[in-house]
Amino acid sequence: MIANDLSEEHRAKLQSVLEEGGAPRVVAYIQSNRDAELRRTLYSLARRAFPEREGHGRKFDDLIFIARAGITESLRQAALARAKLDHELATECTDSANRLSYNLSADLADCWPGDENPRERRHLEAGFRAACDCIVWRQELGKPPDRRAMAYWAAGMHQLSLGNAVEALGWFETAAGLAAKAVAGESSDGASDVTADYVKPGGDFGVILYHGYAGLARHILGSSEGIHQYKRACLSFQGTINNFKDPEMIEDAKFGLEQLRWVERKLTGKEST
C-alpha cells in the first residue's frame, strides 16, 4: 500500500491524464511504469479520478476501458507469478483483478442514492459480466461467504436493472444465504429461517439488504409476498436507526434503507414505505 499523501498525488495525476486524453491515455500512462506492483496500485486508484457518483459526467465507457485493462494486467502478472512458482504473488495479483472487477460492477450498478448518471444497456451488461467474474475468482480465492455474497448481489442488481427479475431473485437469494452463513458460521448450512433470525432491527446488514432486494424482485414479478418481504427489510433498518446507539450500525442502516428506497423508486416509480 502507498501512503495517503502519495496516493492522493497519484490520483490527481490520473485525473489530469484522464481529462487530457481520456481512458486510452490513462492506460498508456499506467503501463509506462516499470514497477508491476505500482501498475496494479494505479489501476485501483484510477476509478477515483472520475467524478463522484452523485456528480454528473461520469463516463462509463472510459471506466470500463480502464478497469478491463487493469484486470488484464493483473491476470497477466498472476500468470507470470505462477510460471515462477510464486503462488503467493499469483494469488495477490488475482485478487487485484477480483477487486477491480467488483468495483467496476459496483460503479456500473444503477442503485446508488443521488446517482442520476444514465446507464446504457451495454453498461449494465458489462457490470453483470464483471460480477460473474468476481463470483468465480472469490470462490477460487477462498473468500469468506460475506465477500462472495457481495458479488452475487452485484450480479442480481444488474439483472434487475436489465429487466430480468426472475434471474435477479435467484442471485439475491443466494447472496442472502451466504450472508446468513457468514453470521452463523461456515459449518452451518445457512440460516434455516433467514427472516426470523436476521431480518430484524439490529440484524445483519448484508442479510437485511439482500433480503430486501429479493423482496423487491418478487414484488416486480407480481408476488404479493414480495412487498411484505421488502417492507420488512426496510422496517428492520429503520428499527436499527431508531433503537440502537452504535454509530456505525446506524450509519450502515441509513445507507441500506436509502439504497432500497432509491432502487424501488427507480424501478417502480413510487415508494411504498
What's the pLDDT score for residue 6?
67
Closest C-alpha to 106, from 53, 27, 54, 164: 53
What's the pLDDT score for residue 186?
57
Under the banding of pLDDT at 50, 70 and 90, the label for residue 2 is very low
| Confidence check: pLDDT of 1 > 50 | no
CB 134 within 8 A of CB 95: no
Residue 250: alpha-carbon gap to chain centroid: 21
Residue pLDDT, tens place only, 44-88: 999 999 988 877 778 999 999 999 999 999 999 999 999 999 999
Q: Name the grid cell of 12.
A: 490527481
Per-domain boundaries in the chain? 1-143, 146-273
Residue pLDDT, tens place only, 171-211: 999 999 999 999 987 555 544 566 567 899 999 999 999 99
Q: Give the burial class of 250: count Cβ atoms within 10 A of its Cβ; 0-12 exposed, 13-18 middle, 19 or more buried.
A: middle
CB neighbours of 257 closer than 8 A, spacing ≥ 6? 234, 237, 238, 241
Distance in Å from the first CA to the final CA of the chain? 43
Q: For 257-267, b where at least 16 C-beta lie within 10 A, e where not — what string?
A: bebbbbbbeeb
What's the pLDDT score for residue 51?
84
CB 108 within 8 A of CB 129: no
Q: How many CB atoms lie within 10 A of CB 15?
A: 17
Q: Pick the more confident residue, 227 or 272.
A: 227
